[in-house]
A and B are shown apart, each in its own frame.
Chain A
């Protein structure tokens, strides 16, 4: 069907709530496309052929992006059908599109490669993916599709234990369940979702959406055991006795702390603690919800990744004056452009080239200020391709009654202490099939990467599921022979 397309250079914008309104609550910032707007944006897609499409190559889970976008245009007269067809294409590679549509760094992945970018705005792939997932959920189309898939699943009679119900574990679980394996997820917290529940704020990823994606996995037959801390409640050795394979998707749960005096003063949070209190425990609804959080008038966030943006924007919603401090310059900020942009719109200040050296407390052991050393960048690049920075010997002190440290995380120590599990610098070592040093035990996501993105973890989950499938197929055939 060769249709000559008219190039529409400008992206169809998605409506967003104004900054002054949204800083007063935790409701979602971006409102997403309507069907009409989604079709208009979808029509801009050049429909690069599948084998060529650079967007697919940029996607860690290789979603057939032109494929799902074309369905929206093809069935434009029947929105339900259009969405169902599009969702079917997405689901072949990604079981959590409402999540990835919201939190993927599309600008560095699919959208970075979009050919439209050469003549105009790149296609808004993330928001289109989100639209498909949201519309399908609201209309019950996802359930319909699910119940068409379920009867076709052929049971394999083998079982897999998955450690951690975060993006890596959920993805692996979904893929393995679709392949016919009995899957059980062991989750330490009281809710499944991992970083999607405790880490990413409601205004960026509503918890009800994560819950609904998890419900779908349960319908596929995935069992989730919450309150089970692998390493304490059950060990990997014990799981291997009970299951045919194990996947570790335990994430990077251990926060890194600033190595400076006063780091344990009251009012100093790790981003993990702050975000867990706010997101998972809903401290923004205290005392209706029982878990408190202390947000002072002046908040300093240390670090400039996505977690730092999430913490800063959450603190802003408590009415605080928030400053993000970063030891490098603006060009090295690792947070998504959209998040930095949202943070700035919401009145969050940025201070660059300062590195904390001391936390200063009052007579009650509560933080009142942070002393920073001013830094400068050299021309020389470090191993990560960022300009090297050095201290200048000059200092600046900023007042703060709450400090949030968001400088990264290490993999969870309870898991990496497993005997026989090869670990380097806190990260689980895996081969090209994501198998660890223990046969039958696979790992992916932040547990092997240190700290990365939701979609990379999902990519690992998918890759591991494939490898586990191959491993178990051999095992099965070996047994039958």
Chain B
């Protein structure tokens, strides 16, 4: 099944955009749905969100943030004309499409990519959509696209400090997101909130939203393997019941999600993911040494 890379660009540091020939997905995908991509024979299956698509021409676009081994390998090794091994989908349920009124859609770091198709469709469905992107500055993306698609796009960026690790970035992210969301909610009325991003950030934002009692839709991305309801890796407790994010979600009522469990489960493979990345970096260095 050839999924040809029609085009590829680096949008900013660590942000890579791919245009992929995947007619079966392009034909059916709805905002809120995702695909599973496998790029290399020894690679893993990773969930990514189609950002835009053309049903007639049969392509979708994907944006990856270089974070772990797979996204880095994709950035380093794939070029236009190459093929992805697998693009499965569309998967998951579409986001609810109706008139809510005034919406605040928050995308933290990588989450902003998933916000885009939903926010755009919500705006087109007659809502007034404000999008908020909270992220370290070098990761600001899709700014122009958002500005064209929704009523208002706010970027809450911050500079990375020397010596910061993932923990410091996460803390700063949560601090910025919480402050900005609080400010917006205190000054304006919203009928619906959407969040996408790291589970810790989503929980922090939810805690603010809860105080205002506004409905909140959270698009979750727990760890997934098959993403067709078969393995159960992505299970989350929602309203006291075990749900599979891949077939029951990925969007859920934020008020019903067991956030602490989601945070624990999302971090489980972090040490192994680091090992995979370090091994890959060493391989790259060794190859560089031979040249």
A and B interact: yes
Interface residues of A (CB under 8 A from B): 188-190, 198, 225-229, 232-234, 253-255, 257, 263-267, 269-270, 272-273, 276-277, 281-282, 285-292, 294, 364-366, 412-414
Chain B residues closer than 8 Å to A265, beta-carbon distance? 264
Find out whether the CB atom of A270 lies under 8 angstroms from the CB atom of B232: yes
Which of B196-204, B211-219, B265-273 binds A?
Answer: B265-273
Ranked nearest first, the 3 interchain pairs of A and B with the lowest CB-CB distance are: A365-B264, A227-B88, A292-B272
**Do residues B1 and A189 form an inter-chain contact, with CB atoms below 8 A?**
no
Contact (Cβ within 8 A) B24 A257:
no
Partner of A287, one of B24, B264, B279: B279
Q: Which of B33, B232, B268, B279 contacts A266 (CB 8 A)?
A: B268
B160 interfacial contact with A, CB 8 Å:
no
Contact indicator B86/A190 (Cβ below 8 Å): yes
Assuming the A-B contacts A273-B232, A289-B42, are A189 and B242 also in contact, with contact meaning beta carbons closer than 8 angstroms in the complex?
A: no
* B145-153, B176-184, B222-230 - interface stretch: B222-230
Could you give 24 example pairs across A and B, Cβ below 8 Å? A188-B228, A190-B38, A190-B86, A226-B88, A227-B36, A227-B88, A229-B88, A232-B89, A233-B89, A254-B230, A257-B232, A263-B242, A264-B236, A266-B265, A273-B231, A286-B272, A286-B276, A289-B42, A289-B43, A289-B44, A290-B44, A366-B268, A412-B229, A414-B229
Whether B275 sits at the interface, judged by CB under 8 Å, is: yes
A257-B242, A290-B44, A294-B269 known; A227-B228 Cβ under 8 A: no
Q: How far is the CA of A229 from the CA of B228 in the complex (A)?
A: 7
Interchain CA distance A402-B288 in the complex, whole Å: 39
Give CA–CA (A384, B42) in the complex, Å: 43
Please indicate the chain B residues that have their CB under 8 angstroms from the CB of A414 in the complex: 228-229, 247
| Complex-state Cα separation, A288 to B282, whole angstroms | 13
Of all chain B residues, which has the CB nearest A273?
Answer: B231
Q: B10-41: which have CB < 8 Å to A?
A: 24-25, 28, 33, 36, 38, 40
- Distance from A70 Cβ to chain B, minimum over Cβ atoms (Å): 42
A227 touches B269 (CB 8 A): no
**B contact set with A: CB distance below 8 Å:** 1, 24-25, 28, 33, 36, 38, 40, 42-45, 69-70, 85-91, 225-226, 228-233, 235-237, 242, 247, 260-261, 264-265, 268-269, 272-273, 275-276, 279-280
Closest residue of chain A to B263, judged by CB? A365
Instruction: From known contacts A227-B86, A292-B272, infer whether A277 and B225 are also in contact, taking CB-CB under 8 Å.
Output: yes
Q: In the complex the two chains form, what is the Cα distance from A265 to B261 in whole Å?
A: 8
Roughly how many angstroms separate A307 CA and B265 CA in the complex, as a whole number? 24
> Among A233, A291, A294, A366, which residue has its beta carbon within 8 angstroms of that of B225?
A291
Nearest CB of A to B276, in Å? 4
Q: How far is the CA of A282 from the CA of B268 in the complex (A)?
A: 19
Contacts of A288 in B (CB 8 A): 42
B69's nearest neighbour on chain A, judged by CB, is A290
Given contacts A226-B1, A255-B230, A288-B42, 16 further A-B contacts (CB under 8 A): A198-B230, A228-B88, A233-B24, A233-B88, A233-B90, A254-B230, A255-B231, A264-B265, A286-B272, A290-B44, A291-B45, A294-B268, A365-B260, A365-B264, A412-B228, A414-B229
Tell me, rounded to whole Å, the shortest Cβ–Cβ distance linking A198 to chain B: 8
In the bound complex, CA of A198 to CA of B231 (Å): 10
A190 CA to B38 CA, complexed, in Å: 8
Contact between B264 and A364, CB atoms less than 8 A apart: yes
Which of B24, B69, B90, B279 neighbours the largest number of chain A CB atoms within 10 Å of its CB?
B24
Q: How far is the CA of A257 from the CA of B85 in the complex (A)?
A: 32
Q: Do B44 and A291 touch across chains, with their CB atoms under 8 A apart?
A: yes
